[in-house]
Amino acid sequence: MSQDNIIREVDEELRSDRMRALWRRYGPIIIGAAVGVVLIVAGKEVWEWWQSSNAARSSDQFYAAMDLADGADPAAAHAALEDVIATGSGGYPTLARFKAAALLAKEGKPAEAVAAYDALATSESNPRLRELALVLAGNILVDSGTPADVETRVGTLAVPGNALSNSAREALGLAWYKAGDLTKAAGFFQAVIDDPTASADMASRMQLYMSQLVAQGFGDTSTAPVVDTPTVETPPASDVPATDAPVVDAPAADVPVETPPAAPASPVEAPAADAPTP
């Protein structure tokens, strides 16, 4: 056996001893890490399956409750929605709470519906859902509340840059219109029309509102108070020469014109001149 072969065998033996020593020291750690990775992956898969299963169950519950809400048994619909709220997963409980509030409004219970939306606005962590609940409550209060009630819900939303600003402006405009303040109502409607981010449907709806306001007299000078003018009795044409009567153009119906002084009711005879004595 050559010297090179002896050195190679010794080197391989040393490497084997070194590998066995390393394995004895780090083998359990490597095995534990591998088992941990397997358990993590398996746990993730189980969690996703459980979430998917619960979501599917909650989805079935929610849509079954929706079918009941569209039917003629509101009590059963409320019970089904409460079940989703109590046992559902994901976003279905929140959807069920919104639907329950809408169902109360549909049943003619505005106070309870507003209370449900107010509860959503105070309990939801998502700011967009909170704002949506406030707008929906404000829409109900247009008919059942006062402009101040609507302002309390959506007043802070009717500002440029808010995603629901135009919906808030519409609710405020309708509230003031119902209260009889056409000027304030028109201000909110016009703000939506002037907003370049407003949808075409909403802008068109605001135009219809403004047309209704104009039809009721907003911005029309023809609705100004009419001042009574004295009736002038026109003398017979035979007594007044045609050249003595000034021609006055009739004022337009919608432009106030100052009424000229009334002419005398009857011609006044001039005093006779003294005739010279022949």
Closest CA to 85 of 75, 94, 73: 94
Q: Return the pLDDT at 141.
A: 96
> Each residue's pLDDT tens digit in the chain (278 positions)?
566 666 666 567 667 777 777 777 777 888 888 888 888 888 888 877 777 787 788 888 888 988 888 887 889 999 999 999 998 888 899 999 999 999 999 999 999 999 999 999 999 999 999 999 999 999 999 999 999 999 999 999 999 989 999 999 999 999 999 999 999 999 999 999 999 999 999 999 999 999 999 998 887 544 433 334 344 444 444 444 444 444 434 444 443 444 444 444 433 343 343 433 33
Distance CA 146, CA 172 (A): 10
Distance CA 203, CA 200 (A): 5
Specify the CATH number of the domain 108-218. Answer: 1.25.40
Eight-class DSSP state of 243: G
Separation in Å, CA 80 to CA 76, 85, 232: 6, 9, 79
Contact 133, 167 (CB under 8 A): no
Q: How many residues does the chain have?
A: 278
User: Domain segments of the chain: what residues?
Assistant: 7-95, 108-218
Q: Return the pLDDT at 115.
A: 96
Q: Look up residue 93 and give its two tokens.
A: 């409980």
Residue 247, H or E segment: none
Residue 88, H or E segment: none
Residue type, 62: F
Eight-class DSSP state of 219: T
Burial per residue of 91-130, b for 16 or more beta-carbon CB atoms within 10 angstroms, e otherwise: ebbbbbbbbbbbbbbeeebbeebbebbbebbeebeeeebe
Closest CA to 117 of 147, 71, 154, 89: 154
